[in-house]
């Protein structure tokens, strides 16, 4: 389980580096289908706006159920490439692209690409947690 354990120096560069590393850890947990670890990156009041126009998901319990569904829908690998991370007290903002690969019934791979925007805020212990996460699929 994620303990949020990256602690930041007061420098802007270190804060941005912390968010970059936290996303890497989140992707590792997602690809390992470690549900508890994935949701440990979220603030209690987080909001997740999933793909395909699905309704917003509010709070840890609902986010956990949403990811449970993702894990059973044949997501095989997720790659996230952060394009920008910025920090201005109290929030860090992350812009990224993603690629998800799914295997479909006939054994072929289906690839989906899109964008991710997320905000991170420090909790009372100083750990960054995701507060809002918006996933947007690219259209042809």
Q: Which pTM was predicted?
A: 0.84
Average pLDDT estimate for 69-85: 82
Q: Tell me the pLDDT band of 113, cut-offs 50, 70 and 90.
A: very high
User: Which of 31, 34, 39, 23 shows the shortest CA–CA distance to 100?
Assistant: 31
Which own/partner pairs from 11-15 qualify as long-range (CB within 8 Å, at least 24 positions apart)?
A: 12/87, 15/87, 15/92
Level-2 CATH architecture, domain 12-137: Roll (3.10)
Mean pLDDT of the chain, nearest integer: 85
Q: What's the confidence (pLDDT) of residue 2?
A: 42
Give the rounded percent of residues in the chain with a pLDDT score beyond 70: 89
User: Which of 112, 2, 128, 118 shows the shortest CA–CA distance to 49?
Assistant: 118
Domain boundaries of the chain, sorted by first residue: 12-137
């Amino acid at each position: 389980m994620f303990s949020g354990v990256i602690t930041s120096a007061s420098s802007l560069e270190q804060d941005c580096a912390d968010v970059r590393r936290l996303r890497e850890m989140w992707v590792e947990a997602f690809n390992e289908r470690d549900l508890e670890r994935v949701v440990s990156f979220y603030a209690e009041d987080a909001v997740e706006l999933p793909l395909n126009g699905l309704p917003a998901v509010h709070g840890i319990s609902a986010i956990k159920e949403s990811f449970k569904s993702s894990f059973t829908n044949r997501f095989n690998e997720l790659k996230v490439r952060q394009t920008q991370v910025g920090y201005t007290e109290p929030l860090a903002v992350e812009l990224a692209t993603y690629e998800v690969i799914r295997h479909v019934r006939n054994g072929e791979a289906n690839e989906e690409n899109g964008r991710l925007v997320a905000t991170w805020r420090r909790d009372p212990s100083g750990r960054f947690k995701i507060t809002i996460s918006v996933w947007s699929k690219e259209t042809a």
